[in-house]
Structure 1
Amino acid sequence: MPDPYSDFYIINALPEPVKTPDVDVLEETEEKDSVDTPWKLILYDDDIHTFDEVIDQLIKALGCSTAKAEELTLKVHNDGKAVVFEGSFEECLKINSVLQEIQLITEIKG
């Protein structure tokens, strides 16, 4: 019996990747910058939480002194927002989750 596939040829249908050195270098630079740049956790002012609630939650989240928590809370109140922590993305996420336990308004920026 003749081979039914004898007239078929296997062709690599995937084109070879085209490398563009300028784009590759640019992407590597951007990745390196974003890794080296510390992430910032920003706390926003709201009309819901009392000063004491925010101060207590900052102490719980950051492990900072009462004086530091009061300073940050006052900055948030006066400026509408403040960077309360800078560090790795994972650290920001951990601290952010504690701040959001009482629904504080936060943002992480890198």
Structure 2
Amino acid sequence: MAERVSPESDVEEISQEAVAPPWMTVLHNCDCHTFEQVVKQLQKAIGCTEAKGWELAWQVHNTGRAVVKIGSEPECVRVGNVLAAIGLVVTVV
């Protein structure tokens, strides 16, 4: 006869946020800000270096958009709000 195994009583709980799909903040090209303005705002929003800010700004300029943050919904919304504060066009998906 097969032996029955009972489930562990101390199973680790995993929060809904830990298994939720990641969110993204996407910055879109709007041709209404200087590169310097975009770089400065990216540094404020995501804490990146100036060099990374320039890299992202060029990607937005050349391709029309760039994912600038992947994370939880609150994190991505916060980044989007910081970028939008100067009129940059962003979406959070």
Counterpart for residue 61 of structure 1: 45
Superposition pairs for residues 1-110 of structure 1, below 5 Å? Answer: 36-109=20-93
Deviation at 1:36, TM superposition (A): 2.7
User: What SS does structure 1 have at the residue aligned with 2:92?
Assistant: strand
Matched AA of 1:56 = K
| CA distance, structure 2, for counterparts of residue 75 and residue 42 of structure 1 | 12
Unaligned runs of 5+ in 2: 1-15
| CA distance, structure 1, for counterparts of residue 81 and residue 21 of structure 2 | 21
Deviation at 1:67, TM superposition (A): 0.7
Unaligned runs of 5+ in 1: 1-31
| CA distance, structure 2, for counterparts of residue 89 and residue 101 of structure 1 | 18
User: What SS does structure 2 have at the residue aligned with 1:74?
Assistant: helix
> Normalization by structure 2: what TM-score?
0.78
User: What SS does structure 2 have at the residue aligned with 1:71?
Assistant: helix
| CA distance, structure 2, for counterparts of residue 83 and residue 71 of structure 1 | 12
Deviation at 1:81, TM superposition (A): 0.4
User: What SS does structure 1 have at the residue aligned with 2:25?
Assistant: strand
User: What SS does structure 1 have at the residue aligned with 2:33?
Assistant: coil
- Could you list the per-position Cα deviations for residues 59-96 of structure 1 after superposition, in whole angstroms to 9, with x for gaps in the alignment? 01111100111110000000000101100000011111
> Between Structure 1 and Structure 2, which shows a larger proportion of helix residues?
1
CA RMSD of aligned residues (A): 1.2
| CA distance, structure 2, for counterparts of residue 98 and residue 36 of structure 1 | 23
User: What SS does structure 2 have at the residue aligned with 1:67?
Assistant: helix
User: What SS does structure 1 have at the residue aligned with 2:66?
Assistant: strand
User: What SS does structure 1 have at the residue aligned with 2:68?
Assistant: strand
